[in-house]
Structure 1
Amino acid sequence: MLTNKQIKLINSLHSKKGRKENDLFLVEGEKSLLELVKSDFKVDFFLLNEVHVSLADQISQQSKAPIYFLDPESIQKLSTLVNNQIGLAVVHQKKFPPFIIQDRYTIVLDGIRDPGNLGTIIRICDWYGFKQLVLSEDCTEFYNPKVIISTMGSFSRIEFTYVDLPTFFKEHQEYKKIGAVLNGVNIHHYQFPDKGFIILGNESNGIREEIMESLDERITIPAFGEAESLNVGISTAIIADNLKRFILS
């Protein structure tokens, strides 16, 4: 039976402070839970709708973590989501080894604040086979519940690190710094270098001036209509698609 201490713990994980103090986070919803049990994340416990026996069976086959059952109304009260009567899990935050760049190209984010955008970008990275993500120190929190749910399970396959970007770039000078801006080289004609960082900036202000000054090259997604700008998640997907076509060609 779920204890008052566990209920208090779940509620504390609704806040960034609680997640940081406990080194835990919440995974919510059926899709994310099923992706979670296929990963190497350590689960503290699951909380599931007592009606969804088949989901409990699937989870118990792949995880030894305790499963507690509650009625859907009680689950909804403990969830951060507007609509979640399926269940949630309390999960340990992952401790990564020292970050070492693995691939020719890595996505780098400068000041991304919207949790939905970050979650979408994580999902895009997973779709296009990027295994790592570099974030400036003021990007929104990876383990924010809105980020996690927006990834649709892709959070479990992406290694990430928060860094001071100028210091990070100095430590990796062999990688070209390629910024996504409004006045760069048309990406359809751009010749990608052998390896580099694709840098995308804040939703409102773009890449900050300090980082702009350190860029090696600048690229632009050409507009054919009247829209002022593109969502940063959409921009990430378009650039990733063009990059992957270049690498595979």
Structure 2
Amino acid sequence: MSFIYNGMQILRRGTTNSGTLGGFFTFGGNEIFGISNNHVLANFGFCEVGDFICRAGSDIVVGSLQCWVKLDLSQPNYLDIALFKLAPDVKPYWRMPFSHNSSPGNIRLAEEGESVYMVANNGSIKTGIINQLFTDEDLNVDLNGNNLRFLGLTEVLSTSGIPFSVQGESGSLVFGSNNDLLGILMGSSKNNSSLSYYVPFIHQNLGICAVYPNIRVWNPAKNYS
């Protein structure tokens, strides 16, 4: 049995650009799904359902690609997400910014000025504040050599003296102070390393929960029999 956790680096077999396993979700059934970015797992659609997702730096299969939101090279985008189904021989667990909770709290909308947290690949905790709740102008983002435009992202200003996110951390989840889930990290600003951007779970009809209305946070206390 293989143990996997949020903050672990993953990639799609046959590719070299690794990202981060953000966390675990269900759709009301017994199957568990991991979340990351399209540009990490789905390669802008140059992929197939069932492609193996592996732990970075190894051939250990942790799941199979299931679905993703298409990225458009010509129009503004709002989401950069992909989901994979966990392999039956892996056991997931959560690493939380605040260890007194073993799993996340609620999915909710952040507030401007709120402190936020991210579990880095090495297990350390990065901190920031919400600088802008929803970007209202096109943000040009370079993803694996492709220039894409995004709207409606949440901007995070680092407060820890180091960048809130670095290369390889795309796909990480962003947490609030009660371990609530706010969104999934997409990347940092090329012009200002203290700024990072995440895709919010809740944003009118454009958030992750709007695209997948039945998505639920996987809670080991409730979902393990």
TM bracket (short chain): under 0.3
Q: TM-score, normalised by structure 1?
A: 0.24
Q: Larger RCO: Structure 1 or Structure 2 (Cα < 8 Å, ≥ 6 residues apart)?
A: 2
Higher helix share: 1
Higher strand share: 2
Q: TM-score, normalised by structure 2?
A: 0.26
Specify the structure having the higher radius of gyration (Cα).
Answer: 1
